[in-house]
């Protein structure tokens, strides 16, 4: 079982690259996100290193000169952790550790660590533990586990802490055991889902931190943990919601992120089954985030990966209260107008217009436009409900209660 530990804030450096596929602006955006992830995991970023490269170096990810630069910085400032914004191969990880002689993590490792920290139920913890073991298996010979200086902290929570020095066989046995355990739970969950009968099922999906749980709370009057950190929700909550006269089930589940580790997608099978078996998806987007279009793409990629890309979807653009477009001053003749200058009205005229009204702008926090949102959900749910209960049409009679 994963151990829970209160850890002190650790000083961390971040390392990213600019390549042909990833321009400087993108690299900076990704590092911003990596910094938020680091903060969620309990780290404070003291410096970022970015290098321009044709391709990542197969031996050390960044060039050896750059690595030396990182080395002198971490030695001077006594930094204990370096985090790379990509998945490092086991060989890269080993080589980098040899040079830097501190704890080296990659994006995958960091996300797994946050999941380990946040998993509440034994079910979620088993899923995370499995993903961690699978990540760990090819990377067992890690230098930093032998170092005295770093005990606990980011990247060391979970099985990594205790099992790392044991051999691969033990990890393999453990993987088999965890898989068995999950299979049993998966079966129970599948039965539970079956018992819910033919009721229409709606799932909230979206990038992490967009406001899914907040929206769930305001429309179902439930109390799901919401917080301004990444991956506040790992477990699935299902609530019965009634709009007008149709009841349906609403699911809030784990948020997605760019490059969600595949180990996690596999181990969170049952959690994601809630999405896979949903009749309607509410794709929640944080429109106040500069990269919201990228976020939509990442979510759609993961939906495709779990074979849920062809479900009916309502796009829910949340956080309109926090949306701010950049303004070009009248005497500024140089700045080119781009998407950052769009108002919400401008956005409505873009590709969103082609969605045939399947999108809506709301603020879950200020509860604005929620009535319209509920109407739209009602219309969609009603369509599905009617195919499932064709003779049950008395449900749709609008009636006012006599006093
Ligand atoms: N300004 C603003 N903030 C919001 C709105 N909706 C949610 N938030 C804030 O956004 C943060 C994340 O909200 P959550 O509901 O936890 O987001 P989530 O999508 O469930 O996140 P994960 O569970 O981490 O995937 C919280 O600090 C919320 O208070 C909104 O309409 N406007
Ligand atoms: Mg949530």
**CA distances from residue 381 to 213, 275, 362 in whole angstroms, order as listed:** 20, 16, 19
Instruction: Identify the nearest ligand to the CA of 205 by its number.
Output: 1
The residue whose C-alpha atom lies closest to atom 30 belonging to ligand 1 is 319
Instruction: Tell me: pLDDT of 273 over 50.
Output: yes
Instruction: Tell me: pLDDT of 271 over 60.
Output: yes
Sequence-distant (≥ 6) Cβ neighbours of residue 192 within 8 angstroms = none
Instruction: Give the mean model confidence (pLDDT) for residues 239-268.
Output: 85
Sequence-distant (≥ 6) Cβ neighbours of residue 173 within 8 angstroms = none
Instruction: Identify the nearest ligand to the CA of 118 by its number.
Output: 1
Tokens of residue 387, six digits: 């195919």
Report how far ligand 2's centroid is from the alpha carbon of 322 (Å).
Answer: 18
Residue 299, ligand 1, Cβ within 6 A? no
Report which secondary-structure segment, H or E, holds 47: strand 43-52
Q: What is the pLDDT of residue 392?
A: 62
Instruction: Give the mean model confidence (pLDDT) for residues 233-257.
Output: 85
Q: What is the pLDDT of residue 167?
A: 63
Instruction: Give the mean model confidence (pLDDT) for residues 45-57.
Output: 94
Ligand 1 pocket test target in 226, 281, 362, 368 with most atoms within 8 Å of CB:
226
Instruction: Identify the nearest ligand to the CA of 366 by its number.
Output: 1
The segment with the largest mean pLDDT, out of 214-223, 275-284, 352-361, 389-398, is: 275-284
- The whole-angstrom separation of Cα 175 and Cα 135 is 11
Among 46, 176, 67, 155, residue whose Cα is nearest residue 105: 155
The segment with the largest mean pLDDT, out of 62-76, 165-179, 219-233, 260-274, is: 62-76
The segment with the largest mean pLDDT, out of 20-34, 230-244, 305-319, 326-340, is: 305-319
Q: Range with the lowest mean pLDDT among 84-88, 192-196, 222-226, 346-350?
A: 222-226
Q: What is the pLDDT of residue 403?
A: 42
Residue 233, ligand 1, Cβ within 6 A? yes
pLDDT mean across residues, the chain: 85
Q: What is the pLDDT of residue 223?
A: 64
Which DSSP string do the residues of 171-220 spell out, in sequence order? HHHHHHHHHHHHHHHHHHHHHHHHHTTT--EEEEEEBTTSSHHHHHHHHH
- Do residues 139 and 263 touch, judged by C-beta distance below 8 A? no
pTM comes to 0.84
Instruction: Tell me: pLDDT of 188 over 70.
Output: yes
Residue 41, ligand 1, Cβ within 6 A? no
When pLDDT is cut at 50, 70 and 90, the band that residue 72 belongs to is very high
Greater confidence, 77 or 116? 77
Which atom of ligand 1 is found nearest the CA of 209? Answer: 21
When pLDDT is cut at 50, 70 and 90, the band that residue 253 belongs to is confident
CA 148, 154, 158, 159 torsion-angle sign: negative
Report how far ligand 1's centroid is from the alpha carbon of 223 (Å).
Answer: 13
When pLDDT is cut at 50, 70 and 90, the band that residue 268 belongs to is confident
Report how far ligand 2's centroid is from the alpha carbon of 287 (Å).
Answer: 16
Sequence-distant (≥ 6) Cβ neighbours of residue 372 within 8 angstroms = 360, 362
């Amino acid at each position: 079982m994963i151990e829970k530990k209160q850890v002190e804030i650790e000083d961390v450096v971040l390392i990213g690259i600019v390549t042909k596929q990833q321009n400087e602006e993108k690299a900076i955006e990704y590092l911003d996100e990596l910094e938020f992830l680091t903060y969620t995991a309990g780290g404070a970023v003291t410096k970022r290193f970015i290098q321009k490269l044709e391709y990542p170096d197969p031996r050390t990810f960044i060039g050896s000169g750059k690595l030396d630069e990182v080395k002198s910085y971490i030695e001077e400032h006594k930094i204990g952790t370096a985090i790379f914004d990509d998945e490092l191969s086991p060989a890269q990880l080993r080589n980098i550790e040899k040079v830097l002689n501190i704890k080296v993590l990659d994006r995958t490792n960091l996300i797994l660590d946050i999941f380990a920290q946040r998993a509440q139920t034994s079910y979620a913890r088993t899923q995370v533990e499995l993903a961690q073991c699978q990540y760990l298996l090819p990377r067992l010979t890690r230098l930093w586990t032998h170092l005295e200086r770093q005990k606990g902290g980011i990247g060391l929570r979970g099985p990594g802490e205790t099992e790392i020095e044991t051999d691969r066989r033990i990890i393999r046995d453990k993987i088999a055991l965890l898989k068995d355990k999950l299979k049993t739970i998966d079966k129970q969950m599948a039965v539970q889902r079956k018992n819910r009968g033919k009721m229409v099922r709606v799932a909230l999906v979206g990038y992490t931190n967009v406001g899914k749980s907040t929206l769930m709370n305001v429309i179902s009057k439930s109390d799901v943990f919401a917080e301004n950190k990444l991956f506040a929700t790992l477990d699935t909550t299902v609530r019965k919601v009634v709009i007008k006269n149709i009841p349906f089930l609403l699911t809030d589940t784990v948020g997605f992120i760019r490059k969600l580790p595949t180990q996690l997608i596999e181990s969170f099978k049952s959690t994601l089954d809630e999405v896979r078996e949903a009749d309607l998806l509410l794709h929640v987007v944080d429109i106040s985030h500069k990269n919201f279009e990228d976020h939509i793409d990442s979510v759609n990629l993961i939906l495709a990966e779990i074979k849920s890309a062809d479900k009916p979807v309502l796009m829910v653009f949340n956080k309109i209260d926090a949306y701010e477009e950049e303004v070009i001053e009248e005497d500024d003749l140089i700045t080119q107008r781009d998407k950052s200058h769009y108002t919400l009205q401008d956005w409505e005229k873009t590709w969103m217009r082609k969605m045939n009204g399947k999108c809506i702008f709301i603020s879950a926090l200020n509860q604005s436009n929620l009535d319209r949102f509920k109407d739209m959900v009602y219309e969609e749910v009603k369509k599905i409900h009617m195919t499932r209960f064709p003779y049950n049409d008395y449900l749709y009679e609008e009636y006012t209660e006599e006093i």
